[in-house]
């Protein structure tokens, strides 16, 4: 198994899951924005020149959420994904997709406006709006974690997706000091050895 990876990207989610599952994997390491991702060879792996990409035998798949679902369906054996008959399954799916539906669009906007764009093109209105929407998205996570350590009660793939997004949100400056559940959740996730390994690649 081979993971095309860049630090501080969504590829960390996949390395994290592979570490949690105890699956051996090879790393092909890049940096975010690496020109090597814009070569004809890499475009054959991912037409948009992005990571993560996973190769598993005759399967080549991209999009972190899709890779996560693929790995859980093939290798999990019920550890990090509830059975479809489990009452938590619908909420597992909800939080699995919440990361990219509600948190990461705002994180992406903030990164573009505050880091990637030249000063003359930055828009403070866009930044303020993104932070406002991000606050609402994180408050929802905070409320949902009341009396729970993890989003569906026990650690699952949903925490890898949305937990990683929460960590990313805090890193771009989201204010979480008034969200004790989110703060504790982030610290709980960062203490997991599998995530620590993935973040050191």
Residue 19's domain is classified under what CATH number? Answer: 3.40.30.10
Is there a single domain that holds both residue 11 and residue 95?
Answer: no
CA distance 162 to 169: 10
Is residue 26 within 8 A of residue 3, CB to CB? The reply is yes
Q: Are residues 42 and 106 located together in one domain of the fold? A: no
Does pLDDT of 116 surpass 90? no
Residue 78: pLDDT above 90? no
Residue 124: give the domain boundaries. Answer: 89-198
Strand partners, 27: 3
pTM of the predicted structure, to 2 decimals: 0.96
What pLDDT does 33 receive?
86
Give the Cα separation of 43 and 45 in Å (integer): 5
Residue whose C-alpha is closest to residue 166's, from 191, 148, 140, 147: 140
């Amino acid at each position: 198994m081979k993971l095309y990876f860049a630090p501080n990207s969504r590829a960390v989610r996949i390395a994290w899951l592979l570490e949690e599952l105890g699956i051996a994997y090879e790393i092909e390491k890049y940096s975010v924005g690496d020109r090597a991702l814009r070569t004809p060879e890499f475009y054959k792996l991912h037409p948009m020149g992005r990571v993560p990409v996973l190769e598993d035998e005759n399967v080549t798949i991209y999009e972190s959420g899709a890779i996560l679902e693929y790995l859980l369906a093939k290798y999990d054996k019920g550890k990090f994904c509830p059975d479809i008959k489990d009452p938590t399954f619908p909420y597992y799916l909800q939080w699995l997709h919440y990361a990219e539906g509600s948190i990461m669009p705002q994180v992406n906007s903030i990164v573009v406006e505050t880091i990637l764009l030249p000063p003359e093109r930055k828009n403070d209105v866009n930044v303020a709006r993104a932070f406002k929407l991000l606050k609402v998205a994180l408050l929802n996570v905070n409320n949902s974690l009341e009396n729970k350590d993890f989003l569906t009660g026990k650690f699952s793939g949903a925490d890898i997706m949305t937990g990683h997004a929460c960590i990313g949100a805090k890193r771009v400056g989201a204010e979480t000091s008034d969200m004790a559940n989110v703060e504790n959740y982030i610290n709980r996730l960062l203490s997991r050895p599998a995530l620590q390994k993935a973040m050191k690649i």
